[in-house]
Structure 1
Amino acid sequence: MLRSLFPLLVLCCVVGRVTAANPDAPNILYILADDLGYSDLGCYGGEINTPVLDALAAGGVRLSQFYNTGRCCPSRASLLTGQYPHRVGLGHMTTNDLGRPGYRGVVSANAQIIPQVLASAGYRSFMSGKWHLGTDDPTRHGFEAFYGTLVSAKRFFDPDHLIHRPVGKSTKRDASDEFYATDAVTDHALQCLSLARTTPQTPWFVYLAYNAPHFPLHAPRDEIAKYADRYQDGWDELRAERLTRMKELGIVPDETQLSARSHWRNYGEIKIGVNPAWESLSRDRQQDLARRMAIYAAMIDRMDQQIGRVIDDLKDAGELENTLIVFTSDNGACFEWDPFGFDIVSSNQNILHTGAMLDEMGGPGTFHSIGSGWANAANTPWRLYKHFNHEGGIASPGIVHWPAGLTPAAGSIVDRPMHLIDLLPTAVAVSGATYDGSMPLPGIDLIDQINHSPAHASNTERTLFFEHQGNRAVRRGKWKLVALDDQPWELYDFTVDRTEMNDLAGEHPKLVKELGAAWDLWGAENQVTPLPDDLRVNYLKAD
């Protein structure tokens, strides 16, 4: 395990510069998974072993209509700034400055993020995990200490892939333990909690942003072994099994229909198609794909175990009761770039693993993805995946746990639409902090929504907007207007068709025009439009 060493004197001096704290204010723990599918967790219908998150759901509430932005950088920007991502310069990715205000590839210097806001209420703030906002030092944005990756996950078994900020911090590692990034960022989070308790009357905020289960698919061998035989029956059967459990759990209505197998296409549409039936694949291909999904499941299982270490620490410190915990994912499961997944690097390259090669998958030095077939299953029952604004891309599991602050019965499911933009307003509301940013907040307090929500409020007249890579959507009450980047608007009635199978655009042209005009206005006001002509994504080449 990685052990982080922080000079206490320096950090205590930093704390001394913030406003006096309210001793009754809750601690705040935001946990973000990376590329986790909507139905992967046990408490959302999945078969993966996630007892810790399931227990948090049983003791708190699950949000059945919690939304992200469809992609990693934009979602992280929305979570931390409380803004739609284009408004703060991260409408696309951090890799390219597209020359337009909404697409600069770096979070705006004018944006206040959660730790900067919470400082007004005396909070100490720490971060562990994936940053991905385009700047090189999260501690310049209000965090006292950071350990993780500034960009995306590339190597889970390589300690040199993760860094400390401020620069110069040293690390200590037990030579008997194999390094694994999910464990290491948890070690750092626990170290931060220990540091926070050196000022016991001061509340803390911890942002724990895991890389799992983002590619490359890396997991310890003993974790992979748990799932070695689980996915031999394929994605068609898994989707049906998950939907049955989701109905039993009340995550989706009993009348929910499973969407058809989703299509897939990569940048430039070099390749395009529809996910094949599992039974149409050769036995060798099935074995390769089953192994990929086993590694993916192992990554989620291990993440749940590590979250358990944090929860146990909160229990031991007597802090769990008054700690607001929110768990979610930055987008839906990742389809990149076709049903068979990629190898070596994100590209059109796939290697069919057979025989002894299968046992090597998921270990150090390998690089795999799950592909669009399994991503479709991970997002059961929705259409599409990460990158898109159909439900498979923007619907996330959302777990909220705060025994001292939630009024619904433990284990409740709240159907009101909510969004990552709500997490900063939530932090402000529960902490008593003052938000004095120049950008008005489009989100609202998550806890107020939960505590004052009727049991089923899917038709609440709140309007949410989405755009990524030209894919776009508006959600207002029971209606959702959505489109692919090169296609006309589609319209769906979510009281009967959240799987987006019965397009009603032709039957309600006035509503399409009204919601489309609302999207146009939002786009103009939030630096979304005009859309970039070129996303400057040049790493996908034809075979």
Structure 2
Amino acid sequence: MTEQQFQGRIGRTYAESEQWWEDSVRAPEDAPNVLMVVLDDVGFGQLGCFGGLVDTPNIDRLADEGLRYNNFHTTALCSPTRSCLMTGRNHHSNGMAAITELSMGFPGYNGRIPHENGFLPEMLVEQGYSTYAVGKWHLSPAESNSAAGPYDRWPLGRGFERYYGFLGGDTDQYTPSLVHDNHQVDPPASPEDGYHLTEDLAQRTMDFIGDAKQVDPDKPFFTYFCPGACHAPHQVPEEWAAKYDGKFDMGWENAREEILERQKELGIVPENTELSPYNEDVPEWDPLSDDEKRLYARMMEVFAGFLEHTDAQIGKVLDYIDELGELDNTLVVLVSDNGASAEGGPTGSVDENRFFNNVPEDFDENLAAIDDLGGPKYFNHYPFGWTWAGNTPFRRWKRETYRGGASDPLVVCWPDGIDSRGEVREQFVHAIDVVPTVLDAIGLDAPSEIKGVSQSPVEGTSFSYTFADSEATGRHETQYFEMFATRAIYHDGWRAVHPWPFGEPISAEDLSATTLEESGWELYHVAEDFSEAHDVSSEHPEKVLELVQLWWSEAGKYDVLPLDGRGVQRFAEDRPQPGRPRDTYVYYPGGQYVPENAAAKVLNRDHSITADVTIPEGGVEGVLLANGSRSGGYSLFVADDRLHYVHNYVGVEEYEVVADEVLPDGEMQLRMEFETTGDVDQDAGKGAPGIVRLYYDDEEVGEGEIPVTVPITTGLTAGLSCGCDALNAVVDDYREQTPFEFTGVIARVTVDVSGEPFVHEAAEVDRLMAQE
């Protein structure tokens, strides 16, 4: 937005002078509002209007009044797709090859979306739009999400004027980690009061829109509404899940059959569409035990309730916009960021953080949790089979470049701008195409400069030409895909796919030019074979070669290299941290919690925690320092007038060491020392064991063994807090007392990590090989 030169006259006095006010920037006359709704981990076959078995009446209403796109594609993962939706550039062009927590020091992978790749709100706010973001962000470097910033890649630094939501990849629906504008806030209510995050986000969306419309009703808005549903944890009030009691007892194979039949009836897929072949990673339903069927069906019931509950909150927002008289001139774009998620594993999960730490689920423990699934006690996720069914009719799922990971629902509705109602569009569309389409609908060009920064070319293609013409020839002819070294390329009705076993490191031999360029590629003629059911690579070797060469060309153009097939191992990669490297971290009570990626790194290394405190007469209790959540972490606290240390191993077990002596009154140091005593086995989900020693000043008062620790991460939702356990309590014994604030006086808590950090040798070899 360029400031205008003063055009009045300034004389010696007011009488000799002439006032002048610069013209207010206004959006084009009759410019539409824009509401972009981004669902999380919702597969192609899960919405009702895409043939799914879950009731989604409000999204269905949008589909009935607008258009559904059955050939819409994403990157197969959340942050990368969201970066495309915001910038119109490919995910590697945005430095967003994966989620920000898996960033690496390469241009396409560093997690730092360059400012020359302007965000849609940065474009629109300079054209007279109000701009709001509500819900999941996950677009700033993970290490910058603390109070130290920098804030230039937070929502308010990328063109949004107001923000309310969570910065990470997921959060607890009952006790979320929330940010309002540029500062952390507590949830406005508790789960006991009926609080649920998705409801809160919907209300904030309505508040933001209403606040501006009552002052300037002609000013259009761009609202980015990202509820974080239906990412794990699948949490929803019981009455929503109860509606689906028994609805999924048929099992996932039969569910796929039903969904495909509904998709054909709705015209979402061609009549000749076949189900893709059976997924070898999914167990057959019929041979499962009765208990397995009961648990797995219940997990899907909870997900279904969660999705319908989310649909209801979307409906509230739509109804509110309608009450304002604005819905007809609101361009609504509703998408999912990737295919349905397989992060629940083959048997489902009661805690997603076990997946990120390679810790296997225990079926008996999960079965014991069945009655509490969906509530605040568990971070649950359904098993592979429902993931596969949710992506009907495609292969595979999130994180992979088959259509099951990269083909997602897209609904576009704009009553004043699109005459067609309830129709399906078949043209190829990608997430990078949304920005130019929105600009096209408004009548704006992408700016050449934003706040003095020259802009890179938008890489997407507007699909507004499809609004009026279902038969229009597609204009997005070529699109590459890459995620964790799984690759694909679409060109002119053909799709080549190079699968990779997720999480398997790529060896030097695998990185040979021959392997990468020629072997392992599959070929699908998706113009005729919608679901990628038939690999025809052996019949068309020349087409395979053509597409593989095209993939390498696109990879070079968009910073896709180097390929890295590691999965959760990349959580442990060294990354820049706030401040200079140091061996000691000092924390004070009363401040904001520190996100895990910005906190002292204590896993798998010798370390100590020392609290300088004053103990009042009559005793004391509360947390000195805690990092993590019920899904894993550690806490140093006082209870029963004794010092306690608990290491929560990914929600499976809590290992506790308690002081032998009662705390004396007065000023003193309370210290915990952790000495590693064994090796780490990350692949088996086992962090370094150790001995914990507790001290009052220099007197040892307790010792105990911690047989296994968290190996990789305390979780995407974790945080460190001093003087309390700020988010979701690490320790079960004081969970009902959360935040369990320390009742004495804390001067400071110092974490010393001068012990040598653990290095995963295989991961280090992979990292070094990738530099070759």
SS of corresponding position for 1:396 = coil
Distance 1:462 1:371 in 2: 35
Match of 2:125 in 1: 119
Alignment partner of 1:423 out of 434, 444, 451? 434
Alignment partner of 1:105 out of 103, 108, 111? 111
User: Which 5+ residue runs of structure 2 have no aligned equivalent?
Assistant: 1-21, 146-153, 449-454, 502-518, 573-681, 686-772
Distance 1:394 1:533 in 2: 17
Match of 2:554 in 1: 522
Distance 1:191 1:239 in 2: 40
- Aligned-partner residue type, residue 335 of structure 1: A
- Aligned-partner residue type, residue 216 of structure 1: P
Match of 2:200 in 1: 184
Distance 2:354 2:155 in 1: 26
Match of 1:132 in 2: 138
Cα deviation 1:328-353 (Å, max 9, x = unaligned): 10000001253212333242432325
Match of 1:379 in 2: 391
Task: Tell me if the contact between 1:156 and 1:218 (Cα under 8 Å) persists in the aligned partners.
Answer: yes
Is 1:351–2:362 an aligned residue pair? yes
Q: For residues 324 and 359 of structure 1, do their structure 2 counterparts lie closer, same or farther at Cα, with a shift above 3 Å needed?
A: same
SS of corresponding position for 1:488 = coil
Alignment partner of 1:317 out of 309, 316, 324? 324
Alpha-carbon RMSD? 2.2
Alignment partner of 1:500 out of 532, 536, 544? 532
Task: Tell me if the contact between 1:77 and 1:85 (Cα under 8 Å) persists in the aligned partners.
Answer: yes
Task: Tell me if the contact between 2:82 and 2:337 (Cα under 8 Å) persists in the aligned partners.
Answer: yes
Match of 2:483 in 1: 468
- Aligned-partner residue type, residue 209 of structure 1: C
SS of corresponding position for 1:207 = strand
Task: Tell me if the contact between 2:344 and 2:382 (Cα under 8 Å) persists in the aligned partners.
Answer: no
Q: CA deviation at 1:513?
A: 1.6
Distance 2:440 2:527 in 1: 31
Task: Tell me if the contact between 2:332 and 2:413 (Cα under 8 Å) persists in the aligned partners.
Answer: yes
Greater fraction helix: 1
Match of 1:450 in 2: 467
Q: CA deviation at 1:497?
A: 1.5
Match of 2:500 in 1: 485
Match of 2:232 in 1: 215
Q: CA deviation at 1:298?
A: 0.9
Task: Tell me if the contact between 1:287 and 1:354 (Cα under 8 Å) persists in the aligned partners.
Answer: no
SS of corresponding position for 2:253 = helix
User: Which 5+ residue runs of structure 1 have no aligned equivalent?
Assistant: 1-15, 264-273
Alignment partner of 1:301 out of 285, 308, 313? 308
Q: For residues 257 and 195 of structure 1, do their structure 2 counterparts lie closer, same or farther at Cα, with a shift above 3 Å needed?
A: same
- Aligned-partner residue type, residue 476 of structure 1: H
Q: For residues 499 and 175 of structure 1, do their structure 2 counterparts lie closer, same or farther at Cα, with a shift above 3 Å needed?
A: closer
Q: CA deviation at 1:424?
A: 0.9
Distance 2:93 2:476 in 1: 23
Q: CA deviation at 1:398?
A: 0.8
Is 1:334–2:366 an aligned residue pair? no
Distance 2:259 2:63 in 1: 18
Distance 1:215 1:209 in 2: 14
SS of corresponding position for 2:163 = strand
Match of 2:375 in 1: 363
4+ runs deviating over 6 angstroms:
168-171
- Aligned-partner residue type, residue 53 of structure 1: I
Cα deviation 1:464-483 (Å, max 9, x = unaligned): 22111111111122211111
Match of 2:613 in 1: none
Cα deviation 1:414-464 (Å, max 9, x = unaligned): 011111111111222122334235221121223223323417x6x767112
- Aligned-partner residue type, residue 325 of structure 2: G
Match of 1:30 in 2: 36
Task: Tell me if the contact between 1:23 and 1:202 (Cα under 8 Å) persists in the aligned partners.
Answer: no
SS of corresponding position for 2:456 = coil
Distance 2:117 2:361 in 1: 40
Alignment partner of 2:457 out of 440, 454, 460? 440
Q: For residues 461 and 320 of structure 1, do their structure 2 counterparts lie closer, same or farther at Cα, with a shift above 3 Å needed?
A: closer
Distance 1:222 1:500 in 2: 38
Task: Tell me if the contact between 1:474 and 1:519 (Cα under 8 Å) persists in the aligned partners.
Answer: yes
Distance 1:99 1:175 in 2: 40
Task: Tell me if the contact between 2:335 and 2:408 (Cα under 8 Å) persists in the aligned partners.
Answer: yes
Q: CA deviation at 1:177?
A: 4.5
Task: Tell me if the contact between 1:261 and 1:376 (Cα under 8 Å) persists in the aligned partners.
Answer: no
Task: Tell me if the contact between 1:343 and 1:349 (Cα under 8 Å) persists in the aligned partners.
Answer: no
Task: Tell me if the contact between 1:22 and 1:202 (Cα under 8 Å) persists in the aligned partners.
Answer: no
Is 1:537–2:606 an aligned residue pair? no
Match of 2:740 in 1: none
Q: For residues 80 and 442 of structure 1, do their structure 2 counterparts lie closer, same or farther at Cα, with a shift above 3 Å needed?
A: same
Alignment partner of 1:167 out of 183, 188, 200? 183
Cα deviation 1:140-186 (Å, max 9, x = unaligned): 11101111110111311014x12211337787559984111111111
- Aligned-partner residue type, residue 201 of structure 2: V
TM-score (norm 2): 0.64
SS of corresponding position for 2:550 = helix
Distance 2:387 2:212 in 1: 38
Task: Tell me if the contact between 1:40 and 1:46 (Cα under 8 Å) persists in the aligned partners.
Answer: yes
Q: For residues 533 and 277 of structure 1, do their structure 2 counterparts lie closer, same or farther at Cα, with a shift above 3 Å needed?
A: closer
Q: CA deviation at 1:222?
A: 0.9
Distance 1:169 1:357 in 2: 31
Distance 1:354 1:421 in 2: 40
Distance 1:522 1:251 in 2: 30
Q: CA deviation at 1:241?
A: 0.7
Match of 1:413 in 2: 424
- Aligned-partner residue type, residue 283 of structure 1: D
Is 1:196–2:212 an aligned residue pair? yes
Match of 2:668 in 1: none
- Aligned-partner residue type, residue 537 of structure 1: R
Task: Tell me if the contact between 1:73 and 1:93 (Cα under 8 Å) persists in the aligned partners.
Answer: yes
Q: For residues 296 and 337 of structure 1, do their structure 2 counterparts lie closer, same or farther at Cα, with a shift above 3 Å needed?
A: closer
Cα deviation 1:457-514 (Å, max 9, x = unaligned): 6x76711221111111111222111111376211111133222222111222222122
- Aligned-partner residue type, residue 202 of structure 1: K
Match of 1:4 in 2: none
SS of corresponding position for 2:286 = helix
Distance 1:26 1:460 in 2: 24
Task: Tell me if the contact between 1:18 and 1:120 (Cα under 8 Å) persists in the aligned partners.
Answer: no
Match of 2:269 in 1: 252
Paired residues, number = 514
Q: For residues 354 and 203 of structure 1, do their structure 2 counterparts lie closer, same or farther at Cα, with a shift above 3 Å needed?
A: closer
Q: CA deviation at 1:41?
A: 1.0
Distance 1:27 1:21 in 2: 10
Task: Tell me if the contact between 2:247 and 2:301 (Cα under 8 Å) persists in the aligned partners.
Answer: yes
Larger radius of gyration: 2
Task: Tell me if the contact between 1:18 and 1:119 (Cα under 8 Å) persists in the aligned partners.
Answer: no
Greater fraction strand: 2
| Structure having greater relative contact order (Cα 8 Å, sep ≥ 6) | 1
Task: Tell me if the contact between 1:79 and 1:421 (Cα under 8 Å) persists in the aligned partners.
Answer: yes
TM-score (norm 1): 0.90
Q: How does 1:222-237 map to 2 (within 5 A)?
A: 222-237=239-254
- Aligned-partner residue type, residue 542 of structure 1: A
Q: For residues 228 and 541 of structure 1, do their structure 2 counterparts lie closer, same or farther at Cα, with a shift above 3 Å needed?
A: farther
Q: How does 1:73-84 map to 2 (within 5 A)?
A: 73-84=79-90
Alignment partner of 2:544 out of 509, 512, 523? 512
Q: CA deviation at 1:355?
A: 6.9
